[in-house]
Every structure is written in C-alpha cells, then in structure tokens.
Amino acid sequence: MSMWYGNSYGSYHPSTNTDHRIGLRRGRATYSDILAATNDAVQVFEERGFRICAVGGLACKLENNIRTPNDSDLLVLDTTLSQEQLKQILINANSKFYLIPARDPLATYKVLWYKTTAGVRVKVDLLQPGIMSIPNFSSDLIQYKQYLMHRIPVAPFGLVLLLKLQAWEQHRQSPETRYYTKHHTDAQDINYLLPRATSIGVTCDYLPSEFRREARRRVREYIKSYPISKEHWGEIQLRTPAEISRRASMSPHNHPSRGDTNDTRASLDTLADSLSRVRIHQSR
C-alpha cells in the first residue's frame, strides 16, 4: 500500500524474477484476484493462530468504497516475529507466494507477491503494529466481510479511516512524484467513506490516545484542503468521554481568567462602597 508499506529480506530464485516480469504482462489484478491472494494469506496465518485483518485500500473496498484496490494490505496482530519471518511463513506454506527485489536497488527489503491460478500477479503488503505508527488493538474488534466465496477479516472501520488519513498526509509530504500523486486517491477514498462512517456511528476510543491526538491534527489539516468534510469529521469522536470531561473542566468558562477575577473583585468593592454610602445617608 504505497510508500509506508514494505516487506523485508527473503530468498528468491532468478527464474522467479523472470517469471514475475512475464506474469505482470498479463494485466492488472482484478478485485477477485486480490481477494484470492488475501484469502490464501488469511488461511495460512489463521491456521497457525495469528490474527490478521485487511487495512488500506482493500479494507476501504470491503467497507463499500467504489475504488478497486491495487494490492492486498494485511495487518498481522503480532509483534514477536519480524516481517521477514512472517513472509517466510507464507512462502513455506503456499508456493503461490514469492519474493521479488524492491524497485530501489539500494533497498534492503524484498516485495511479497502472489501468483493466481491464471498467472496474474498480486502484490501483498504485510504490516504489524508499530510499523509506521500503526497502533495495536484488541483482535475482538476485527470484523468479517463476506464477498462471494470469500470471508475476509477487516480492521475496525475507525482505524481503517484514520490509517487512510495518515497515508494521505504521508503521500502529500512525499518528495517522490509516484507517492505524492497518491494523496489525491487517498482523499477520494476518505471523502467517499466519511458519510458512511458518520451514518453508522464509527468509534475510535479503543485506539491509543497519542494516535488519536495525531489524528485530530491530521483532521485539521485535511479540512483545510477539503472544507466540505468538516461536518462529517465533526461527528467522529476522537476523544474518549473521560478526555472530553477533563477538557471541559479545563475550559476558560469553568476557570475565570485573572482579568475576570480582578473585574469581579472591583465590582464587589464598588458594590460595598455604594452600600456603605446608603447606610450613611439613611443614618442622617
């Protein structure tokens, strides 16, 4: 899923590289191809006790986005193994998965691909909590989406949306044109999904406070570029009830400023002086 997703080392045979180039000529992977790759990866990991879920463009599509993703972005909720070890699990379990050197000749990682039965190639990105600030969360929040014969686990909608927002920011800040141009696609996805997110009452209180704090900052930046999204973002609560209460208690309305205190004190002094004069006048 673009620049912030990648795969690390792995062995490959030169003939695999040649076969891969030939396979790419068969055309772009369809949604069914991407789901086939995803389904096989999910099966391998779940059989071994790992919890895994779709994120990125695939998750957006499974949440009824109109755009078909370019690849399969999968988040493995495991931090005990490296990305390399996770890739090797797939490669050892299913020969349809293989590794190819990265486009950058200086890169120290290789990219994970999947070969369909028809020979079409699908890029697969394996992610883990902690990579590019992706937060961990309870696997109980994973939801399964059914599409034809495929039953795909998907990350919570709130996280999917905020990770897409994070990708928008990172792509927009990228000095490389091939990544920079992706922020337009990210925005299209976000703007399409926002109404659905607000209509179902998406929540984000299960996410770490720091991640939500960064999300609030990104939302402010996003609204500057897409003012029409302000109303929808305003309906998505990025603070927990406790944080809202604490913030309200610190509001200037609840804590008079020094100037307000001085004004109140002066008013009381004036009132006391006036009452004193009234008493003197009455005593006469």
87, 173: one domain: no
13, 93: one domain: yes
244, 147: one domain: no
Is 256 part of any domain?
A: no
183, 121: one domain: no
99, 227: one domain: no
CATH number of 76's domain: 3.30.460.10
Q: What are phi and psi of 99, to 5 degrees?
A: -115, 145
52, 161: one domain: no
Lookup result for tokens 């030939």: 22
Lookup result for tokens 């005990």: 80
Q: Provide the b/e sequence for 2-15 (b: ≥16 CB within 10 Å).
A: bebbbbbebeeeee
Q: Is the pLDDT of residue 236 over 80?
A: yes
Q: Provide the b/e sequence for 112-150 (b: ≥16 CB within 10 Å).
A: bbbbbeeebbbbbbbbbeeeeebeebeeeebeeeeeeeb
Is 125 part of any domain?
A: yes
67, 175: one domain: no
The total of structural domains in the chain comes to: 2
Is 274 part of any domain?
A: no
Q: Is the pLDDT of residue 250 over 70?
A: yes
pLDDT digits (tens, 9 = 90+) for 116-159: 999 999 999 999 999 989 999 999 999 999 988 899 999 999 99
33, 46: one domain: yes
Domain residue limits at 212: 157-250
Is 210 part of any domain?
A: yes
194, 55: one domain: no
Is 84 part of any domain?
A: yes
> Could you tell me whether strands 121-127 and 72-76 are parallel, antiparallel, or unpaired per DSSP bridges?
parallel
100, 164: one domain: no
51, 84: one domain: yes
Is 257 part of any domain?
A: no
Is 260 part of any domain?
A: no
74, 209: one domain: no
Assign 161 to helix, strand or coil: helix
Q: Is the pLDDT of residue 267 over 60?
A: no
Average pLDDT value over all residues in the chain: 86
C-alpha 106: how far from chain center: 28
Given 134, 155, 176, the domain boundary residue is: 155
pLDDT digits (tens, 9 = 90+) for 22-77: 555 556 899 999 999 999 999 999 999 999 999 999 999 999 999 999 999 999 99
**pLDDT score at 174:** 97
